[in-house]
Amino acid sequence: MSNVSVLRTSPKTILEDYQKLMDLADYRSAVPEGNATILKINLSWSLFYPACSTPPWQLDGVLSKLRQDSYKDITCVENQTVVTHPWKGAYGNKWLPILEKYGVDYVPLTNAEWVPFRPKAEMLAMNDLFGGVLVPKKFFGSNVVHLPTVKTHGHTTTTGAMKNAFGGLIPKYRHHAHKKIHEVLVDLLAIQKEIHKGIFAVMDGGVCGNGAGPRTMEPFIGNVLLASDDQVAIDAISAKIMGFDPLKIDYIRIAHDRGLGMGDYDQIEISGMDKQELEKLNFKFTTTKSPIVEWDQRLRKGTANTNWLHNILFHSPVFKTFIFASGFYHDKLWYPTTGKKHIDEFMKTEWGKLFDTYGYGKFPEYPEVKEWNPY
């Protein structure tokens, strides 16, 4: 039976709680320390916003535990999208001083070497959407540890461990996956099971995101942490905590049906917390859609059967107008107004005060990220 470890936490105990959580989930059995370990952080916005991306205490707590347990070969990775930049995001989310503290390299995957891979598992969407699969060469034979947060998502209802692979196994132009996003996430989990020695996820719910995720959300103090070697199960428990029925979320249900993990809440063991206590955690979240997600879905669905129009909108320079619109809405309109109000309120909380204790470090003199579209 699949097991998910769940712990209550607080800003004062967070680093200790990560150590307890990972031991409770027996992470060393899932990702043996003799293998190279990929730490896949989560970047949903180059700017800092609560619950949007891997918070500094999550990275700090997990790296501290890995180093304490003699994990030596660790690389931290993240990718680029048409609306995020891996170096700017690493600075804005205060990752760089933590990586330096533990002597861990940071590798933007757009600059990594990618190689073709033919999965043994049947692909539900990757071949149709991208004409095949590419994988970062350094992923083969490695462990992967995912660092997602507890939050909603306009494209997938919730997001978590499974979707965190989205930023590791699809290069920059992965927005095309939105046409069949649930099937893509299932494909990515099947691929991970073939290329990695071990898979583990540590999910931060100290601060969660409710509403129009993954960016324009309302921060919610959750004070909870999750960990598991079953990516489907941890996403199911996270969804349950947020107030959703896990098996009504397509990517969880499909992965469960295909035997990639356990999505049935009743069949998942919980350690660290009694199930009755877990059920009382219901955060009663509601997934909504930002105007950008709403129009993205409308246009993709509306042109799905009209190839020439779909290609003009999404596979030609016309698409740059959508990229501009997204950046303008998120960074220039929403963030300085509604976003700033939420951030100001967050910074008054104990979690906000904890965020303040971490430094940004020196703004990186980063190498240029490749303008590269392998698909």
Return the pLDDT at 111.
82
Output phi, psi for 166, to 5 deg. Answer: -55, -40
Residue 371 has a pLDDT of 55
Residue 170 has phi, psi (to 5 degrees) of -130, 130
Pick out the chain residues at pLDDT < 70: 172, 366-375
Question: Parallel, antiparallel, or unpaired: how do β-strands 133-136 and 157-159 relate?
Answer: unpaired
The pLDDT, as a whole number, for residue 374 is: 38
What pLDDT, on a 0 to 100 scale, did the predictor assign at position 375?
Answer: 35
Helices (H), 77-207: 86-92, 96-102, 126-130, 161-164, 166-169, 181-195
Q: Please, is 90 exposed, middle or buried when counting C-beta atoms within 10 Å of its C-beta (0-12, 13-18, 19+)?
A: buried
pLDDT, position 110:
82
| Cis peptide preceding 56, ω within 30 of 0 | no
- Nearest to residue 129, comparing CAs of 170, 84, 79? 170
**SS3 at position 185:** helix
* Number of Cβ atoms within 10 Å of the Cβ of 197: 16
The DSSP element (H or E) to which 76 belongs, if any, is: strand 74-78
Identify the helix (H) or strand (E) that includes residue 299. Answer: helix 291-302
CA pair distance 290, 112, nearest whole angstrom: 32
Q: State how far the Cα of 62 lies from the Cα of 25, in Å rounded to an integer.
A: 13
The 10s digit of each residue's pLDDT in 242-295 is: 999 999 999 999 999 999 999 999 999 999 999 999 988 999 999 999 999 998
70 bridge partner residues: none
List of E strands, 133-230 = 133-136, 143-147, 149-153, 157-159, 198-212, 216-228
Number of continuous H segments (helices) and E segments (strands) in the chain: 17, 12
Contact 108, 370 (CB under 8 A): no
Structure tokens at 89: 């995001």
d(CA 302, CA 165): 28
- The full length of the chain comes to 375
